[in-house]
Amino acid sequence: MNSKKNIIKKYQKLITIINRHNLLYHTYDSPEITDKEYDQFYSELKQIEKEYPNQIDSNSPTQRVGSLLLDQFDKIKHDTPMLSLSNASNESEFSEYYKKTNITLNRDNTVLFAEPKFDGLAISLLYINGNLSKAITRGDGLIGEDVTQNVRTIKSLPLTITDKNVPKKFTLRGEVFIDKKDFNKINNILIKENEKTYSNPRNLASGSIRQLDPNIAASRNLKIFIHGVANYNQFDGIIEHDKLMRFLSDLGFPVNKYSKLTTNLKSTLRYFNDMNAMREDIPYEIDGLVFRVNDLSKYPLLGATSKAPKWAIAYKFRAQEALTKINDVTYQVGRTGTITPVAELETVNIAGVNVSRATLHNFSEIKSKDIHINDYVYVKRAGDVIPDIDRVELKKRKNIKKIKVPKECPSCKSILFKVENQIAYKCLNSKKCKPQIEQSIIHFISRKAMNIVGIGNQTIIELIKKNIISKTSDLYNLKKSDFEKLDRVGEKSIYNYLKSIEKSKNVTFNKFIYALGIKEVGDASAKSLAQSFSNIEELLACSNSDLQKTSDIGPIVAENIINYLNDRDNRDNILKLISYGISITYTKQTSNNKTIVITGQFDNYSREEITDKISMLGYKVTSSISKKTNLLVCGSKPGSKKKKADDLGIEIIYEDELSKLLSEVH
């Protein structure tokens, strides 16, 4: 008995030691032990937890990533509303705010606390008795989502506070973000996997926090800065914001090092300009500065509107831009033949990136912005990512040439067609226009379609350029000798390419339909078609009226499908795909019309696999329990859905019974 007590005592001591060193490493960037020593402590902790699983403490470093997959995020009301901030977009607007604040406070100069405006996801953190209890997104300011499990994965955030001077209950406000290095690293991985990339770090941080699997959130290396409290009265004796931030920093909370007190308008504007000049040297994205009155006791006097406090304001940077010249305009051809004008620029450096091209989107935008060849234009990185022309510098205008709508396709020279009731121009020569062929095959191999892993876009483009393939069915006739004709492709890569192509031959009906790339037939429409038609032969023989009986298929999409299927080359290509060994798993036609919900974890299946297979049996899978739910598929560690199903008397099956159900899928 004493031995067990000693082990538990040692266990708690290890938690304290490891949490302290996590704090030193992730928050203060001042490690005191080597990685090897840290790993030894961590291994000891895991060994004790393995031997005494009932003693596992929720604040153990091993518990930062929970094993429980979430069904959904619960909605929680904020104790104190999370208001947005008013914005100042230029010096005049900010100066006006500062003047009004001085008048309200009857001061000549108000001391402001300034810090970067982080481009991330706003979060509210509730601590009870020193332990992180809830992490809630802003939501609409009154009600947010409970993302506690994912926020617990942030290594720099203390999960427990032992200082006796903290209130029993307090709420912090912060911003979850991802730094530039990790953002680029994740996007590069997605590019290699032919996946859609994130447009900016904010979207990646937001998407990571909203992952139902905390392990995914943990893999993203999220970070956080604390910038305030929900109610400053919770911290007795602290009436200045800079002192409050210093106190929180001493407790181990990550507080931004660039924060600063400014004593008058001149020093405030100087700090703004200094930060704007150095923003690219900061390892994470900032889009401005937040200035707040440092004297917390004046907040009631300053008050708030229904949307924003009057004791703080966000002064935003202008999008990073540069002036350059449009030398020419070229045209890109998309997968469906749509023509996009592109400005060819004199190369200019914007925030460390050399930009030589910028999208002009469409011909309507060219007209509305009055853009011409030889114009000098301000180019910005929209969302600080995509090069975009903001406006023309008219003072430098001379020798301009009008941008004309091309009459023929820049690739295949076919006559362009103007889409009725739209501003788009299209090339209709889809079978011989190389950019359209490239994009259609790239779409075909993508993850949501045939999922041919490892073959990148450039490989497809080179195969087409060297006339090795010209349609999707050609992929399944490729040999080792074909890949050997490509530049810089080794034996191992060729082996992997052929293996991936072979593996992709087994495909569900909905993914096969989606892979065909029929105009306006997306993922949802493909699933509806797969449930409505028994097999590919039935789909090939369908009529327009048959299609319109399918949910998600209206008259325009139905006409697109009929036009595609009635094209002899398209039909021949589909039949060749089947003859080359494509094996389609069909959705089971059923009249039971059952609605199924899935909850918990499963040993032998992923959630996506269960959803796909149940859908193939003809059942409808939904995300929430209601009186209309017929069946709950329940794994281990279920959430609240099991209790709700019990209360409503809904039938529940477990993994052994699920295996029998899914065995019907062939």
Q: In angstroms, rounded to a whole number, what is the distance separating the alpha carbons of residues 24 and 296? A: 30
Phi, psi torsion values for 118, nearest 5 degrees: -75, 140
State yes or no: pLDDT of 66 exceeds 50: no
Q: Tens of pLDDT along 255-289? A: 999 999 999 999 999 999 999 989 888 999 898 99
The confidence score (pLDDT) of residue 539 equals 95
CATH architecture entry for 87-316: 2-Layer Sandwich (3.30)
Q: Tens of pLDDT along 333-350? A: 988 899 999 999 999 887
In this structure, are residues 197 and 190 in contact, taking their beta carbons and an 8 Å threshold? yes
The CATH superfamily of 2-64 is Helix hairpin bin (1.10.287.610)
Q: In angstroms, rounded to a whole number, what is the distance separating the alpha carbons of residues 624 and 640? A: 10
The confidence score (pLDDT) of residue 593 equals 66
Q: In angstroms, rounded to a whole number, what is the distance separating the alpha carbons of residues 264 and 627? A: 62
User: What is the DSSP track for 204-265?
Assistant: HHHHHHT-SSHHHHHHTT-EEEEEEES-GGGSTT--BHHHHHHHHHHHT----TT-EEE-SH
User: What is the DSSP track for 79-144?
Assistant: SS------EE-SHHHHHHHHHHHHHHHT-SS--EEEEEEESSEEEEEEEETTEEEEEEE-TTSSEE
Q: 585: which 2 tokens?
A: 């798993």
User: What is the DSSP track for 134-192?
Assistant: EEEE-TTSSEEEB-HHHHTT-TTS-SB---TTS-SEEEEEEEEE--HHHHHHHHHHHHH
Grade residue 666 by pLDDT with cuts at 50, 70 and 90. very low
Q: Tens of pLDDT along 295-337? A: 999 999 999 887 789 999 999 887 778 899 999 999 999 888 9
Give the CA-trace dihedral at 257, 262, 266, 270, to 10 degrees: 0
Q: In angstroms, rounded to a whole number, what is the distance separating the alpha carbons of residues 593 and 651? A: 15
Provide the CA 498 distance to its chain's centre, in angstroms.
31
SS (H, E, C) 64-81: HCCCCCCCCCCEEECCCC
Grade residue 196 by pLDDT with cuts at 50, 70 and 90. low
Q: Tens of pLDDT along 429-442? A: 998 999 999 999 99
Fold type of domain 321-418: OB fold (Dihydrolipoamide Acetyltransferase, E2P) (2.40.50)
Q: Mean pLDDT score of the chain, rounded to an integer?
A: 87
Q: In angstroms, rounded to a whole number, what is the distance separating the alpha carbons of residues 126 and 559? A: 54
Q: Specify the range with the lowest mean pLDDT, choosing from 418-427, 555-564, 565-574.
A: 418-427
Q: In angstroms, rounded to a whole number, what is the distance separating the alpha carbons of residues 279 and 301? A: 34
User: What is the DSSP track for 595-613?
Assistant: EEEEESB-SS--HHHHHHH
Question: What mean pLDDT comes out for the span 539-566?
Answer: 90
Grade residue 37 by pLDDT with cuts at 50, 70 and 90. confident
The confidence score (pLDDT) of residue 453 equals 85
Question: What mean pLDDT comes out for the span 357-382?
Answer: 89
Q: Per CATH, is 595-662 categorized as 3.40.47.10?
A: no
The confidence score (pLDDT) of residue 386 equals 66
Look at the block and give the residue holding tokens 């447009």: 199
Q: 589: which 2 tokens?
A: 């036609």
Query: Which residues lie closer than 8 Å to 115 by C-beta, 6 or more apart?
Result: 227, 256, 258, 259, 260, 289, 290
The confidence score (pLDDT) of residue 414 equals 95
Q: In angstroms, rounded to a whole number, what is the distance separating the alpha carbons of residues 426 and 433? A: 11
If one counts every other C-beta atom within 10 angstroms of the C-beta of residue 376, the result is 17
Strand order in the sheet with 651-653: 620-622, 595-599, 631-634, 651-653
The confidence score (pLDDT) of residue 194 equals 63
The confidence score (pLDDT) of residue 288 equals 92
The confidence score (pLDDT) of residue 21 equals 79
The confidence score (pLDDT) of residue 239 equals 92
Q: Which of 1.20.200.10, 3.30.1330.60, 2.60.220.10, 1.10.150.20 would CATH assign to domain 508-585?
A: 1.10.150.20
Burial (Cβ within 10 Å: 0-12, 13-18, ≥19) of residue 492: exposed
From 5, 117, 395, 527, the catalytic residue: 117
Query: Which residues lie closer than 8 Å to 610 by C-beta, 6 or more apart?
Result: 598, 602, 633, 658, 662
Q: In angstroms, rounded to a whole number, what is the distance separating the alpha carbons of residues 169 and 130? A: 8
State yes or no: pLDDT of 70 exceeds 70: no
Q: Tens of pLDDT along 496-517? A: 999 999 999 999 999 999 999 9
The confidence score (pLDDT) of residue 72 equals 63
Question: What mean pLDDT comes out for the span 245-251?
Answer: 93
Q: Specify the range with the lowest mean pLDDT, choosing from 64-68, 115-119, 180-184.
A: 64-68
The confidence score (pLDDT) of residue 305 equals 80
Q: In angstroms, rounded to a whole number, what is the distance separating the alpha carbons of residues 371 and 433? A: 28
350: left (phi over 0), alpha (psi -120 to 50) or beta: beta
The confidence score (pLDDT) of residue 116 equals 95
Element (H, E) at 388: strand 386-392
Q: Are 2-64 and 434-504 in the same CATH fold? A: no
Grade residue 595 by pLDDT with cuts at 50, 70 and 90. confident
Fold type of domain 434-504: DNA polymerase; domain 1 (1.10.150)
Q: 553: which 2 tokens?
A: 């298929």
Q: Tens of pLDDT along 216-225? A: 888 888 999 9
Q: Specify the range with the lowest mean pLDDT, choosing from 47-56, 380-389, 393-402.
A: 380-389
Question: What mean pLDDT comes out for the span 122-126?
Answer: 95
Q: In residues, how long is the chain?
A: 666
In this structure, are residues 361 and 340 in contact, taking their beta carbons and an 8 Å threshold? yes
Direct distance between the N- and C-terminal alpha carbons of the chain, in angstroms, rounded to an integer? 55
Domain ranges of the chain: 2-64, 87-316, 321-418, 434-504, 508-585, 595-662
Sign of CA dihedral 281, 23, 201, 218: positive
The confidence score (pLDDT) of residue 190 equals 77
Q: What is the DSSP letter of 415?
A: B
Percentage of the chain beyond pLDDT 70 is 93
Task: Tell me the β-bridge partners of 123.
Answer: 137, 174
Grade residue 102 by pLDDT with cuts at 50, 70 and 90. very high
CA-based nearest residue to 251, from 219, 229, 222, 221? 229
The confidence score (pLDDT) of residue 398 equals 92
Q: 499: which 2 tokens?
A: 């293996």
Q: In the annotation, is 257 catalytic?
A: no
The confidence score (pLDDT) of residue 629 equals 87
CA-based nearest residue to 178, from 199, 201, 157, 158? 201
Burial (Cβ within 10 Å: 0-12, 13-18, ≥19) of residue 229: buried
Sign of CA dihedral 348, 354, 357, 361: negative
The confidence score (pLDDT) of residue 503 equals 94
For residue 197, the one-letter residue type is T
What is the b/e burial string over 415-448, where b = at least 16 CB atoms within 10 angstroms of the residue's CB? ebeeeeeeebbbbebbeebebbbbbbbbbbbbee
Q: What is the DSSP letter of 494?
A: H
Look at the block and give the residue holding tokens 């398209």: 570
For residue 177, the one-letter residue type is F
